[in-house]
A and B are shown apart, each in its own frame.
Chain A
Amino acid sequence: MSSLLRLKSPITTIAGSILLVLLGLVPVFAMLLDDPFMLTLFTRIVIMAIAAVSLNLILGYGGMVSFGHAAYIGVGGYAIGILAHHGITEAWIQWPVALIGSALVALLIGLLSLRTKGIFFIMLTLALAQLVYYLGNGAYAYGGDDGLTILQRTDFGGLLDLNDKETLYYLCWVLLVIVLWLTYRVVNSRFGMVLQGAKSNDRRMATLGFPVFRYRLTAFVISGTICGLAGILTATYTDFISPAMMHWTRSGDLIVMVVLGGMGSLFGPLFGAVTFLMLEEILSSWTEYWKIVFGPILLLVVLFARGGIDGAMVRGAAGYALTGLITLFLIYVVHYLWYDDWIPAAVVLAGAAAAILAIWYRQRREAVAIASAGGDHA
């Protein structure tokens, strides 16, 4: 199924827009529920969504499985942290330095890794990201592996006060909307067409006269820069940088978010980030050992629900997926009213299991239908 079709399928766009609006209303919910923690959680969700959207640009549309995207989060974050450490907090210095830094690192990593394909590309992006990770570990002047606390947040003059939680949240949210819009424009431009063409058959694109390597490299750098933006925001809202933010498992988390949501779909990574982090939040409030539930869920998604949430919506299991997602959000709110209660978590788990089973059943039926249709032709 072409990614264009997915982009234009109204159901995903509607669900994505609803989710974006709901996310925009989070500070209101937080105020109504008098729960400041909710805002912190959703700041994280929105920031990770930006990172996931950036990864989707090359993974979903370009077919480049970067297993080292956390490196750019690190570069963006370290740029802010290091400048703040030296007393430079002006936004007009910090942000450009961080963004250009991420772009340069992405350019270097892309130049080296894009020469390879398939599993070697995955491993090379991983290895180069590990290099950046150990660079952070060895940066003893900036805390080594203990990390560095940022004492003063970025100074936007009188324009924005980032110490205000709601201002910071809305900054992240607006940036997410901008990044989504930007991705939409890039993907539907001539550039985006070439990128998607190269994903399905790069030899064909090369034969048509497109310098595929350069197109891919450009996309790689754009993606890295946007991910650097997520790094800037991460450092700002945690007031802390450490090599842990670019550990390889963080890159794994990002891939999970993209695939869980649906690769090559505009809103896919947004669904993925929200689902991933909310599942984490709900499951971890349910049991300390939440990953023992989350790991198998991930396995089930890979085994039975390919195409992720977005794919499920397009394939017609929209009912399950859409209700699932919005219920997840509502249940989360309800969960706060019944604080410390296990019922909502159990409901979510049962729901997730039911949805996965339903999607699997549907795929089975479709596969059978396709097989028998193929038999007729033969």
Chain B
Amino acid sequence: MNPVPTGLAAAGVLAATGAAVALVLPARWRSAAVGVATAGVGAAGAAAGVAAVSGHGWRAEYPDVLPLAGVSLAVDPLAGWFLLLTGAVAVVVGVYAIGYAGRGGHGPGARGPLALLPVFVAAMLLVPAAADVPTFLLAWELTAVTSLLLVLVEHRHGPAVLPAGLWYAVMTQAGFVTILIGLVWLAAAAGDPSFAAIQDAAGGLSGPVRGGVFVLCVAGFAAKAGAVPLHPWLPRAHAEAPAHVSALMSAAMVKLGVYGIVRLGFDLLGGGPRWWWLALGAVGMLSALYGILQAAVATDLKKLLAFSTSENVGLILLGLAAAGLLASAGQPAVAAVALAAALLHAANHAGFKALLFCGAGSVLRGTGVRDLDRLGGLSRRMPATTALVCVGALGAAALPLGNGFVSEWLLLQALLHQATDAGTLWTVVAPVAVAVVALTAGVGVATFVKVVGTGFLARPRGEEAAAARESPPSMVAGMVLAAAACCALAVLPALAGPALDRVTAGLRAGPRPFEGGAVDLRLAGVGSTIAPLWIAAGVVGLAVATAVMARLAGRPRRRAAAWDCGDGPLTARMEYTATSFAEPLQRVFDDVLAPEQDVDVTPAAESAYLVRSVQYRRRLPDRIEARLYRPLIAAVEVAGRAARGLATGSVHRYLAYMLAALILVLFAAAVR
């Protein structure tokens, strides 16, 4: 029996059951039942994914399910990789949601939001499994609609939720329209909507058609992936959605945009000319840098994580662009390494970002705030959450021992490879890309030091943080699952080697990127090796040995007040906050970030020198949004107002419009 259809069928049945159960059960049992069902959907999807990446293919047609087009499904290793990723995130989120939604039956625990959760996961699993254009578009739109409804769950709690939902709705639908046009154009040019037929016909299509389809679809996919400059919905939606929804969206849904680009660029169109990949690489680099700079100066924890999603998507896109460029330059071996780096980074990002968003939800639940300037001192009050967030932050900072490091190492290996036959273009582009990755990694480290250092350590900076309490066991259990996945990816990435080999082989991208090896990742195209397990063992072993030896040789530890300059105990106001921590970076990147600062000095009466109070305000508006989207929105508004003049309510006028339209259509038909 083929495990792929079994897994997918189980996921579908469980999703339907979960949705039905959510509508029927009383509030007390609802979240537990739906959480288990969602985890089950995820587990079934992940099982199907594992089967697919280990070599079980599957393909089926259901012509009667939908009128006109029917439904066509197929799972190859590439689809399997994304099924596995989405499923695994859903397991984490399902377990986490039991405690997060709670028993109260309000907010995320209400009937509708809980019923939508398993449906959203199932829709996401359907996207990689789709094997023709109509099925793909259907699954894509189902994902968009369910996620939009989930973003809006807490619309009564904050004034920022509705605008966030609106931004997301507009951008995701605009993206859908470009994908729709692109894929329909491609299917029309190929003469058949099934992916297999498009693949066969794509080679014979003319350059402009292929280029047009690529640009349209990649624009839509990049909007879904949150790449700069199509990102403004992301910090809003991720920040305002409930934590488990943010985790699902950031860790899994955003990756579907990546999946779309891989499927289209490498599989359906089978690679393309250089300008495609240069454009994609430029978007990737812009995303990586702009995302991490905004994250570095953000103080809202969830907004910071959302900008970091843009950054990681940028790195993934950069990997894909490098793969495409190297493949078009006749370097298939290194191209395969770059592609594997991008795919592995997608999995790593799914792991640590699911963990971090769940951690942010846990902090929000325990304290009621998500402003880093008012947090702190959580390492004593929420020890489990703190430890788990640290695992996620280590991965997100791409430091050794964290899971992000391995994929960034792979990406750097592909970029550092001096492909002399790849031409002057690569010679110029590669160093720039390396520098961008390095700066991104460096600022990323500073960002996550800020998150852990000011969010969780030392003294609480506000009353809310001082009264924090640990989250319920199910939330912690969900995070533990994610942390375990992160640790496994960090020390034993070689386990993913065969799967990535199969994915790249399935895409005909090049030879297998990995040369086997049980604990070390040996690259076939590039003469480099890494053994993360030994590095981790070395650091941990040496640290423990040092601590033990120093303790044996010396005296016991004592606790005493920190040096307070003789001025009484230190208060929380004297601590560095997240804003002050990021201030040097903000100054260094002043030209890019363009902060708006305001200093109001109120002098005491009768004296210009004695100051009564000083007020300092700083705002960091998203510059791209202000420059690009505000004018666009203003233009749309003007056009909308002008269009109002067309519809005055006069029946005569409407009849004239219809006549004109009819004449136009007849004319067009006659000319043709």
Q: Say whether A associates with B.
A: no
Give the B-binding residues of A (Cβ under 8 A).
none
Interface positions of B (Cβ within 8 A of A): none
